[in-house]
Structure 1
Amino acid sequence: MLARLGRRAVLAVYALLVTVPLLVVLGGSLKTTAELFDSPFGPPTNPRLQNYVEVLTTQNLLRVLGNSAFVVAVSVPTTLVLASLVAYAIARLPGWPGRVLFAVFAAGLAVPAQAVMIPQYVQFDRLGLRDSLAGLMLVNVVVTLPVAVFILAGFLRTLPTELYEAAELDGAGPWTAFRRVAVPLPAPSLAATAIYLFVMHWNDLLYPLLFIDDPAKRTLPLALLDFTGEYLTDYPLLFTGVVVASTPMVVAYALLQRHFIAGITAGAVKG
């Protein structure tokens, strides 16, 4: 009984820690600056939709949303395709070659992104890829590829080898086995990985801050910095921008929630 009450108390505290800031941001996006400072935790007395109109028009957030959507739409599928190919090779290579290949990509998870930013900056500048969306997409793929390979290889390794042998008996070559076995079966893991990559690329601020100078090429997290200043921050507009930036992630998770849960539990139980 005490253990159950303790768990419920911990969950209640966690729910408050998540819900209260969320309500403050949602309510603050509908308030004026004076009302927000006067009653930060109270509901808006006169909901103000003008904040959303100003953010989407005056602040040119629609163009920034398009940049972020374009970067994510290219980066996520590219990372998934490359990670699937590498994970398939890891699962199918017998003996030490597969283990070495897996270790190489696993080692990429141990290297902090900040440790390689200066060499990346210099290389991208020399290649003419700095201050471009193409360069930003390339660095997104490079940085998130190890974790995508780690997730997908872990699932593909659990698939029985009999499935591949049966495909080979039917005359399927490596590419056919990849398309008909290695891609359809781990669909939940692919969906979970896609959501993870979407969140990582959509919320990334560090690399756009480092690589992008042109205001016309800014992504959403970088544009939100415009609402903060050295001496003054427009919190209602900042909260409105946060709500707009979070909406695509909430929608994506709501649509793919079933696949995400199936993906993170895939391979947990071995039959």
Structure 2
Amino acid sequence: MLFRKFSLLIYALLILIPLVVVLLTSVKTLQETFRDPLGLPDGGFKFDNYVAIFQEQTMAGYFLNSTIVTLFSVSFTLLLAAMVAFGITRMNNWIGNVLFAVFTLGMMVPAQVIMVPLYSLMLDLGLTNSLLGLILVNISSTLPIAVFILTGFMKTLPKELFEASTIDGAGNWKMFTKVAIPLSLPSLSATAIFLFVMHWNDLLYPLLFITDNAYKTLPLALLEFQGQYSTNYPMLFTGVIIASAPMVVAYVFLQRYFVAGITAGAVKG
């Protein structure tokens, strides 16, 4: 028991120390950071960096771009994944198994492998330097894992409910919207949080497809504070905190759904 508590304490420190350093650096000047990286700021906490990052940088625009891309990507991925997962579970034959295997194989393809052909395709379609292009790429890249998670959950739903709905005259669409979706809310919520974190933090695809400042997302915009010979750490860490805030808020308010979604379907009743 003592060893377990000591291990948890070490683990907590490993998480808290970098977090404290980031928070302290965000309220320092560049000179204070280099003079004493771990010390407190001179003359108390100053929030000039938070004001400057919105006044001197187009951070509000980057924040809006990330919000648009993330919300549309998560929404459409969840919708398509839920429909595919419902279709696979309703088929319950070799066609459904093959379809599920195809989506599962999609999880095994690293994003780096398809960067060149994907960029060529988006260039031919005229979707580079556009939020629509990013949304479409995000949906296609995360749809397999969303289908995998939701299919595993929907397979645990009692078949008797769907049989009863069929007897009552419900079609597939009504069973999907009135039975499958309400029962799958815990799993949908957990998947939504998972997708939100992936899309909000994504740097690879914006770095690959976006060069116009008007369409940059937050992770890509944070690279502006890193130069070839120097890095503005106070502004960089301020941007990191601003970029992380929505994820923290989302998890605080949705953690019970996240935990419920993780445990749902673990044991089939």
Report TM bin, short chain.
over 0.9
CA distance in 1, matches of 2:175, 2:210: 41
Q: How does 1:41-120 map to 2 (within 5 A)?
A: 41-45=38-42, 46-120=44-118
Letter in 1 for 2:103: F
User: Cα deviation per residue 1:111-161 (whole Å; 9 max; x = unaligned)?
Assistant: 101001111000000011111110010000000000110110010001111
Q: Hey, what's the Cα distance between the residues in 2 that align with 1:183 and 1:47?
A: 48
Alignment of structure 1 residues 97-246 onto 2, 5 Å: 97-246=95-244
Q: How high is the TM-score relative to the length of structure 2?
A: 0.97
Q: Report the Cα distance in structure 2 between the residues aligned to 1:99 and 1:114, rounded to whole angstroms.
A: 27
Shift of 1:205: 0.4
Distance 2:36 2:89 in 1: 57
Opposite residue 13 of structure 1, the aligned amino acid is: I
Structure 2: gaps of 5 or more residues: none
1:104 CA drift (Å): 0.5
- 1:7 pairs with 2:33: no
Q: Which residue of 2 aligns with 1:266?
A: 264
With structure 1 as the length reference, what TM-score do the two structures score?
A: 0.97
Helix, strand or coil at the partner of 1:110: coil
Deviations 1:157-216 (A, max 9, x none): 011111110111111000000001110001011011111111111100000000001111
Give, in whole Å, the separation in 1 of the partners of 2:187 and 2:3: 33
Aligned-residue CA RMSD in angstroms?
Answer: 1.0
Q: CA deviation at 1:7?
A: 2.4
Give the Cα–Cα distance (whole angstroms) in 1 for the partners of residues 40 and 5 of structure 2.
27
Whether 1:26 aligns to 2:14 is no
How do 1:247-262 residues align onto structure 2 when only pairs under 5 Å count? 247-262=245-260
Q: Residue 14 of structure 2 aligns with which residue? A: 17
Mean CA deviation greater in 10-19 or 135-144? 10-19
Q: Secondary structure at the match of 2:107?
A: helix
Alpha-carbon separation, structure 2, partners of 1:195 and 1:44: 35
Aligned mates of 2:91, 2:15 — CA distance in 1: 44
Structure 2 CA distance, aligned partners of 1:8 and 1:86? Answer: 45
- Determine the structure 1 residue equivalent to 2:33: 36
> What secondary structure does 1:183 align onto?
helix
* 3-state secondary structure, aligned to 2:56: coil
3-state secondary structure, aligned to 2:266 = coil
